[in-house]
C-alpha cells in the first residue's frame, strides 16, 4: 500500500482548469493501474503509435505541441511517470529507474502497442530505451533528444547541488528550485518561458508532497557502481544494441548545459548509423526553443525512414 496525496487524483479542479495553461493541453486523461497506483497518459489519434517519454522535472505537457502536430496521422501516446504530471504521487514508493521502466513496459502491454516510434528526452531516454531493451520486438524507430542511456561521470554543479543531503531536499521540495528554475534555465529564451507555458510545467508540482518524484529522480542518478541504479543503467546501455538495428534520429539542443553536446557526441559514437540534427539555438527544452525544426525533423524521419524490419 502506498500513501497517495489526494491532490494528485484527476478531477476537474484547479489543477486542470487554470485558464493560464489548460488551453495549451487539450487532451483527455487516461489512467493505467500499476500496482495500485494510477499512471496518467495521453492517447490521441489513430495509426502507428508514437510513444513520447518525458524526463525530470517535466511531464506529458512537454510533448503537447508535437502531439497536436502528429495526432491526425499517428496515435500519439505520452506518459506521466508515477510521481509526475497528472499521475499519482505516492510518498512511499520505489522511485527508481528500474521501477519507471517496469511501469512503462506495463502500459505498453496494456495498450498492446506495436510498431512503436519511441521519442525520448532527459530521463525519458534511460526509461524509454531501457523499456525497448525489455521488448525490442514492439519498437520500430527511435528519436533521441538531449538525454543519456549509458553511465557517465558528467553532472552539472546545479544538479549535484540538489543531491546534497537535507539541503538538496529543502531546495527541490520546499523551495521548488529544481522545477521552478528549469522554466528559465532550461530554455534559451532570455525571458524564460511564457507565463502560461511556465504555469503548465509547474502545475503538478505545487507543494512539498507533489515534488517527491522530482527529488527522487535527482537522487537516482547513478554516479558510481555503488549506486543502486548502476546495474539498471548498464542494462539500458546494453539495450543500445537493439537501437543500433533500428532507424534512429538524434535531435539535440546544442546549448543544453545539462545533457550537453558531450552526451550528443557520445551517442554519435555509439550510434554511427543514426541521422542527426543539431539545433544550435536550443537549450535543454528543445521542444520549446526549437519546436518547428524539431517537428520538421521528426516529420521527415517518419515519412522517409522505413520502420525496422520493413
The b-or-e profile of 181-204 (16+ CB within 10 A means b, else e) is: ebbebbbbeeeebbeebbbbbbbb
CA atoms within 13 Å, Cβ hemisphere of 230:
9
Q: Which three cell numbers stand for residue 165?
A: 543531503
CA atoms within 13 Å, Cβ hemisphere of 165:
0
Residue for grid cell 497518459: 41
Closest CA relative to residue 129, chosen from 118, 114, 137: 118
Apex CA 208: angle with CA 40 and CA 87, to 5°?
5
Measure the CA–CA gap between 54 and 120, rounded to whole angstroms: 6
248 phi and psi angles, rounded to 5 deg? -135, 140
273 phi and psi angles, rounded to 5 deg? -90, -5
Catalytic residues: 122, 256, 284
Measure the CA–CA gap between 69 and 95, rounded to whole angstroms: 32
User: Could you give the C-alpha distances from 117 to 7, 70, 290, in angstroms and in order?
Assistant: 33, 12, 20
Count Cβ atoms within 10 A of the Cβ of residue 20 and give its class: 0-12 exposed, 13-18 middle, 19 or more buried: middle
Amino acid at each position: 500500500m502506498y500513501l497517495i496525496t489526494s491532490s494528485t487524483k484527476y478531477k476537474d479542479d484547479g489543477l486542470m482548469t487554470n485558464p493560464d495553461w489548460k488551453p495549451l493541453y487539450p487532451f483527455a486523461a487516461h489512467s493505467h493501474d500499476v500496482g495500485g497506483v494510477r499512471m496518467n497518459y495521453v492517447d490521441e489519434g489513430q495509426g502507428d503509435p508514437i510513444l513520447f517519454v518525458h524526463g525530470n522535472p517535466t511531464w506529458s505537457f512537454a510533448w503537447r505541441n508535437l502531439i497536436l502536430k502528429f495526432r491526425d496521422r499517428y496515435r500519439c501516446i505520452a506518459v506521466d511517470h508515477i510521481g509526475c504530471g497528472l499521475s499519482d504521487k505516492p510518498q512511499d514508493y520505489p522511485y527508481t529507474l528500474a521501477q519507471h521502466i517496469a511501469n512503462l513496459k506495463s502500459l505498453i502491454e496494456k495498450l498492446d502497442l506495436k510498431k512503436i516510434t519511441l521519442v525520448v528526452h532527459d530521463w525519458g531516454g534511460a526509461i524509454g530505451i531501457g523499456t525497448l531493451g525489455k521488448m525490442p520486438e514492439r519498437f520500430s524507430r527511435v528519436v533521441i533528444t538531449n538525454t543519456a542511456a549509458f553511465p557517465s561521470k558528467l553532472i552539472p554543479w546545479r544538479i549535484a547541488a540538489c543531491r546534497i543531503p537535507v539541503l538538496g531536499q529543502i531546495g527541490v521540495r520546499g523551495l521548488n528550485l529544481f522545477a521552478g528554475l528549469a522554466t528559465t534555465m532550461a530554455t534559451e529564451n532570455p525571458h524564460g518561458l511564457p507565463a502560461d507555458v511556465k504555469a503548465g510545467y509547474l502545475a503538478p508540482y505545487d507543494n512539498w508532497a507533489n515534488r517527491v518524484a522530482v527529488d527522487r529522480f535527482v537522487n537516482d542518478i547513478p554516479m558510481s557502481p555503488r549506486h543502486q541504479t548502476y546495474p539498471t543503467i548498464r542494462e539500458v546501455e546494453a539495450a543500445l544494441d537493439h537501437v543500433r538495428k533500428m532507424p534512429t534520429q538524434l535531435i539535440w539542443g546544442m546549448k543544453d548545459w545539462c545533457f550537453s553536446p558531450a552526451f550528443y557526441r557520445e551517442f554519435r559514437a555509439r550510434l554511427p548509423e543514426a541521422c542527426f540534427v543539431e539545433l544550435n539555438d536550443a537549450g535543454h527544452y528543445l521542444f520549446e526553443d526549437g519546436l518547428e525544426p524539431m517537428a520538421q525533423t521528426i516529420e521527415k524521419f517518419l515519412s522517409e525512414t522505413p520502420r525496422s524490419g520493413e
